[in-house]
Structure 1
Amino acid sequence: MIYFKTNLLIILPIFTSIVKAWNSDNHTCALTKPIFSCENQTTILDTCCTPTEGLVLITQYWDTYTGLESEKSFLPLNSWTIHGLWPDRCDGSYGQYCDLSRQYDPFPSPNTTNGKIDGIPVPIWQGGDIITPLLQKYGKYDLLSYLEKYWKSQGSPDWTFWQHEFSKHATCFSTYDVGFEGVPNCYGSIYQNSTEASIIDFLESVIKAQIQYPTYEWLSDEGIKPSNQTGYNINKIQDILTKASGAQPYLGCYGPTKQILSEVWYYSHSLGRPQEGILKPINQTTKTNCNSTQPIWYYERTPGSEY
């Protein structure tokens, strides 16, 4: 009995510390039955395992130049580029810059958390590129290479765009929370740095979602290719992408008559965390703004801008 009591005294503090860790770090989503976001919000047991802002948008750009070709920044051949992975609320509204402790955007847009004059100001990040050295620190050179090729900024270094998207959008996904202002820390004490973990987690999630939506390939297979001579009917483009993706996406155009195709947003619900990349296609909640009566221009890339 004395032997048992002696060991119990040694074990008890260790066991107590484990229990405390479990109380704060109990976010093992493999133990939680996944549900589709936005389909039954009342059944969310853990916001680290199901996003509370669960209308997940996979967004892409069609640019024709980077503006930094002289600095060896080129657009990828035969591919649209990444815009981001966004968390809209189930009613179509959205938040932005939800965790100012993870604000790394050198050009915050909007400059307040709610985009209004009376909103909380978003501090300008002046610390430079944190993502490139972070990925190098953990040996994620393949991920960095992919970002450098497919997640392109126009007119500014690519890292500024990555950090804008993380700060503005990723911080509003509850599944990447790190304990800011009382929300759960989804990464817990087993990670040396939860913020670093959330950044890498988000970047990998963006890629996992994007590769499921090969917009260039889908259009090209149906004869819709970039052209400076041929305009296209927006309904045909919409129909092709709807059939290929499983739901109707938003198509964005610019110009005075909204005839220049520039972006696409695919809407989805996430089964469990968006980190897993299991996405159910959902029809657009924002109506396509492209001209429906005039030809749409899907312009070729500027010579010397692709690589």
Structure 2
Amino acid sequence: MKSITFSMQVILGVASASLYPGQSNLNHTCALQTPYLSCSPQANPNTTDSCCTETYGGLVLATQFWNTYTGLESSGQVLPKDSWTLHGLWPDYCDGSYTQYCDLSRQYDPVPSPNTTTGTPSGKPVPAWKGPDISTFLAPFGKLDLLAYMNKYWINQGAPNPDFWAHEFSKHATCFSTFDLPCYGPSAVPNAEIVDFFETAIAYYRILPTWGWLGAAGIYPSNSTTYSLGKLQGALKDGFGATPYIGCSGPRWNETALGKGSADNGRTVLSEVWYYMHVFGRVQGRQGVPVEAGANGGSVSSCVKVEGGVRYLERSVGSEV
């Protein structure tokens, strides 16, 4: 990849077109702006600074995984003990729909999924990133502690961690108005918004202790004990203040011997939690208001609803430290 000087990168950053109406490359003194609640009538890009109030990805999802292995244990990529792992920070539209890969000039995903901007053949192709992995962007900022934290808690399955981080930034972060390049001003340091996104995603992760909230209700991983979806929802609502989306993988209940003949086709292995919220001002401000997962009429879970049908499996031997 051709090298480029720092000064030229700054010039290119200043010249970058905004993805959102009303943004400019001028400094955005958000301390002087009213931090409107995202998805409120005031969070309108035509009437407020969309660098200072999230105006596009207003329904924010802070998402976490429960995996039982990584597939790269032999290379030291393992899961953290007594903790769920970070999946990402996503910007849904206020009606629950979403967009993806919003700025292909900031596409660092080596294996884009989907490989078009819409996920359909009619969408714009998302080219695979061929440059250095995204973790190398942190070194010039001296963020070695951030990198260490990400390698402990932001874990990929089946591929190196930086591939996952690049996917999350490219697919999701580029669709927040407050992470758009003009928001970083005329003297922006290249890749500052990447570091900002990683730190912000981690900040939300750290205030959403899924392991602890489940544990407070006596819910721990077990290869023999099973749990009810309602108990999982109750424990997480008590902690978060609203019911999150709870995702399950594995076989469907009516595909199992116990569930044969049932109309319940929910999946049976606990794997993911999505916390929905609206935010005041910038997403980076970390001031969220919990929102019920089903507030827009969407699903609240992909899990089996039968009493005691959900398995919260233990980690594989050698897969966590």
Could you tell me the TM-score, scaled by structure 2's length? 0.84
Q: What secondary structure is seen at the aligned counterpart in 2 of 1:255?
A: strand
Q: What secondary structure is seen at the aligned counterpart in 1 of 2:278?
A: strand
Q: CA deviation at 1:128?
A: 3.2
CA contact (8 A) 2:245 2:274 kept: yes
Equivalent AA in structure 2 for residue 302 of structure 1: S
Moved over 4 A (4+): none
Cross-structure match for 1:74: 78
Cross-structure match for 1:289: 302
Q: Which one of 222, 234, 242 corresponds to residue 239 of structure 1?
A: 234
Q: CA deviation at 1:23?
A: 6.8
CA–CA distance in structure 2, aligned partners of residues 298 and 283 of structure 1: 23
Q: Which one of 274, 285, 288 corresponds to residue 276 of structure 1?
A: 285
CA contact (8 A) 2:24 2:183 kept: no
Q: What secondary structure is seen at the aligned counterpart in 1 of 2:148?
A: helix
Structure in which a larger fraction of residues adopt helix: 1
Equivalent AA in structure 2 for residue 290 of structure 1: C
CA contact (8 A) 2:25 2:183 kept: no
Q: Which one of 109, 114, 118 corresponds to residue 110 of structure 1?
A: 114
CA–CA distance in structure 1, aligned partners of residues 216 and 67 of structure 2: 20
CA–CA distance in structure 2, aligned partners of residues 81 and 274 of structure 1: 20
1:191–1:245 Cα change, 3 Å:
same
CA–CA distance in structure 2, aligned partners of residues 23 and 55 of structure 1: 24
CA contact (8 A) 2:27 2:184 kept: no
Equivalent AA in structure 2 for residue 106 of structure 1: P
Is 1:62 aligned with 2:71? no
Structure 1 stretches lacking a partner, 5+ long: 1-21, 179-184
CA–CA distance in structure 1, aligned partners of residues 84 and 237 of structure 2: 17
CA contact (8 A) 2:25 2:184 kept: no
Bigger radius of gyration = 1
Cross-structure match for 2:315: 301
How many pairs are equivalent? 277
CA–CA distance in structure 1, aligned partners of residues 269 and 132 of structure 2: 33
1:199–1:108 Cα change, 3 Å:
same
Q: What secondary structure is seen at the aligned counterpart in 1 of 2:311?
A: coil
CA–CA distance in structure 2, aligned partners of residues 146 and 277 of structure 1: 19
Percent sequence identity over aligned pairs: 53
Cα deviation, 1:198-255, whole Å, max 9, x if unaligned, reads 1011001001111110000111121000000100011000011011100010000112
1:23–1:133 Cα change, 3 Å:
closer
Q: CA deviation at 1:26?
A: 3.8
CA contact (8 A) 2:270 2:303 kept: yes
Q: CA deviation at 1:192?
A: 3.2
CA–CA distance in structure 1, aligned partners of residues 189 and 227 of structure 2: 52
